Amino acid sequence: MIKVAVPYDQDKLSFSIPAEVFAGTFSPRIGAEKPSESGEALVAKALARPIGSPALAELARNKKSAVIIASDHTRPVPSKILMPALLQELRQTNPELDISILIATGCHREPTTRELEQKFGPEIMAREKIISHCCKQQSDLGFMGFLPSGGELWLNKLALQADLLLAEGFIEPHFFAGFSGGRKSVLPGIAGFKTVLANHCSKFIQSPYAKTGSLEHNPIHRDMVWAARQAKLAFCLNVVLNQDKQIVRAVAGDPLQAHQHGCTELRSLCEVAVPESEIVITSNGGYPLDQNIYQAVKGMTAAESVAATDGVIIMVAACRDGHGGESFYQTLAQAESPAQVLEQLQNIPANRTMPDQWESQILARILHKHTVILVTDRCDPALIQAMHLKHASNPAEALAMARNIKGPAARIAVIPDGVSVIARKIAP
């Protein structure tokens, strides 16, 4: 037997897999990548050598106001390192510059004071102006035309009125935008609710280019780039993190060129060739991303990309907070089958996109092609089953169920952290 540990909540679960059917464990190199020097040093070097842009200190010269778009509490961006470096650069040539930090909440809730303190530290909290974006506060938004897709582009007025707009963030694989970071600080980060919905429409989610690691021809990415240009996003500082959330790469400069450079570097560290397998075991990398089924869909997409036709995906996720979205849950639970969900959603025009529709659509797509067994002892099995997933309380039960479905000779591959990998299917 081969024993393989997979992240689960703040611990791990162990699977015992017969050696004769074990295809292997597949993890990206980024997870084990070690920093070549401190995060502060890597950031300082990136700022000293901006890509496709003058130095930030030069951009700030003679400006009256600047807005720094910062990620919110749902992202592991090491802002305690990034933000002081950006503030120092801005004030180097312009100590009187009026600076605001705008929290890119997208459609998430506003961070609490405690969450902001944990993110930035007490000094920045006490000294700087920090404003949280609210996507539904129409009076805070300015109309900036129509996206290439035809959707209305509404963005936060504070950002639009700034003489200099810049952003901090991190780059990781994203299951339909290709990669996070860069232009994503603007859309969805500081965009209006109806703009986000239009960008996440059914037609775009169906695109074969709207997938992990894909930027070229990706319609969601195209809209995001256009929005960043309309906002006049002038500079970004993005980092790449390892499994311990340490900075291992940093890029700065032009939001498009620097982001592209960072994505290219990350791809080389994240792309993994996985033999096509009848059973694929994966996770969301444990806490905090495995707190609900909504988030767990992200990890499932990695398994989906390498699973054989009618394969079984074993998803390890605690989901202690349940489904993660009422609309998401109801769309699946009220349907007779995943196929019905797909049929229902594909007919919804972009301007009528519903909240969480994209997550429902992606999960339904996966369930239409594969059986998904969710492994957890911290979520109501009835809730899981209502969403057309199967439930197992432990790894042994899940493996027994999967092998009963696919047979004892079924090949089993393990992707311990489905969120961190760009999985590429190869012949077994």
| pLDDT tens, residue by residue, 32-61 | 889 999 999 999 999 999 999 999 999 999
> What integer best gives the mean pLDDT of the chain?
95
Do 36-241 and 2-29+271-426 fall under one CATH topology?
no
Of 166, 156, 158, 147, nearest to 255 by C-alpha is 166
Radius of gyration of the chain (CA): 22
> If you ran DSSP here, which 8-state letter would residue 51 be given?
B
- At a CB cut-off of 8 Å and minimum separation 6, what does 401 contact? 312, 373, 390, 392
- At a CB cut-off of 8 Å and minimum separation 6, what does 177 contact? 184, 210, 218, 220, 221, 224
Over range 72-100, report the average pLDDT.
94
- At a CB cut-off of 8 Å and minimum separation 6, what does 369 contact? 304, 307, 309, 310, 311
Q: Is the pLDDT of residue 5 over 80?
A: yes
Tokens read off for 259: 């982001």
What is the number of alpha carbons within 13 Å of residue 22 lying toward its C-beta?
14
* DSSP structure string for 328-367: HHHHHHTSSSHHHHHHHHHTS-GGGPPTTHHHHHHHHHHH
pTM score of the predicted model: 0.89
Of 382, 387, 324, nearest to 355 by C-alpha is 324
Write down the domain spans for the chain. 2-29+271-426, 36-241
The answer to whether 77 touches 285, Cβ cutoff 8 Å, is: no
Q: What is the pLDDT of residue 31?
A: 82
The 10 Å Cβ neighbour count of residue 106 is 20
Percent of the chain whose pLDDT exceeds 90: 91
Q: What is the pLDDT of residue 311?
A: 98
The CA angle 71-291-11, to the nearest 5 degrees, is 105
| pLDDT tens, residue by residue, 388-404 | 999 999 999 999 999 99
For the question of residue 323 being annotated catalytic, the response is: no
| pLDDT tens, residue by residue, 20-38 | 999 999 999 988 889 999 9
Place of tokens 């600080």: 185
**From CA 9, how far away is CA 293, in angstroms rounded?**
13
The answer to whether 15 touches 395, Cβ cutoff 8 Å, is: yes
Of 80, 123, 74, 81, nearest to 103 by C-alpha is 74
Q: Is the pLDDT of residue 199 over 80?
A: yes
The CA angle 22-7-388, to the nearest 5 degrees, is 80
The 10 Å Cβ neighbour count of residue 283 is 30
Q: Is the pLDDT of residue 74 over 80?
A: no
Q: Strand, helix or coil at 5? A: strand
- At a CB cut-off of 8 Å and minimum separation 6, what does 51 contact? 251, 252, 253, 254, 257, 258, 261
| pLDDT tens, residue by residue, 221-280 | 999 999 999 999 999 999 999 988 899 999 999 999 999 999 999 999 999 999 999 999
Architecture of domain 2-29+271-426: Alpha-Beta Complex (3.90)
Q: Is the pLDDT of residue 428 over 90?
A: no
Distances, alpha carbon 127 to alpha carbons 70, 72, 123, in Å: 16, 19, 6
Over range 83-88, report the average pLDDT.
98
The CA angle 115-419-417, to the nearest 5 degrees, is 105
**From CA 240, how far away is CA 220, in angstroms rounded?**
22
| pLDDT tens, residue by residue, 131-157 | 999 999 999 999 999 999 899 999 999
User: In terms of C-beta density within 10 A (0-12 exposed, 13-18 middle, 19 or more buried), how is residue 359 classed?
Assistant: buried
> If you ran DSSP here, which 8-state letter would residue 261 be given?
H
Q: What is the pLDDT of residue 216?
A: 95
Which entry of 133, 174, 221, 259 is annotated as an active-site residue?
174
The 10 Å Cβ neighbour count of residue 352 is 12
Q: Strand, helix or coil at 253? A: strand
For the question of residue 174 being annotated catalytic, the response is: yes
Over range 303-316, report the average pLDDT.
98
Place of tokens 């969120």: 419
What is the number of alpha carbons within 13 Å of residue 51 lying toward its C-beta?
17
Q: What is the pLDDT of residue 351?
A: 85
Place of tokens 């303190």: 117
Of 303, 301, 297, nearest to 281 by C-alpha is 303
The answer to whether 375 touches 315, Cβ cutoff 8 Å, is: yes
Q: What is the pLDDT of residue 347?
A: 85
Of 213, 385, 374, nearest to 283 by C-alpha is 374
Over range 76-97, report the average pLDDT.
96
- Greatest C-alpha distance within the chain: 70
Q: What is the pLDDT of residue 215?
A: 96
Architecture of domain 36-241: 3-Layer(aba) Sandwich (3.40)
Over range 195-218, report the average pLDDT.
95
Question: Which residues, in sequence order, are bridge partners of residue 65?
Answer: 98
Q: What is the pLDDT of residue 32?
A: 84
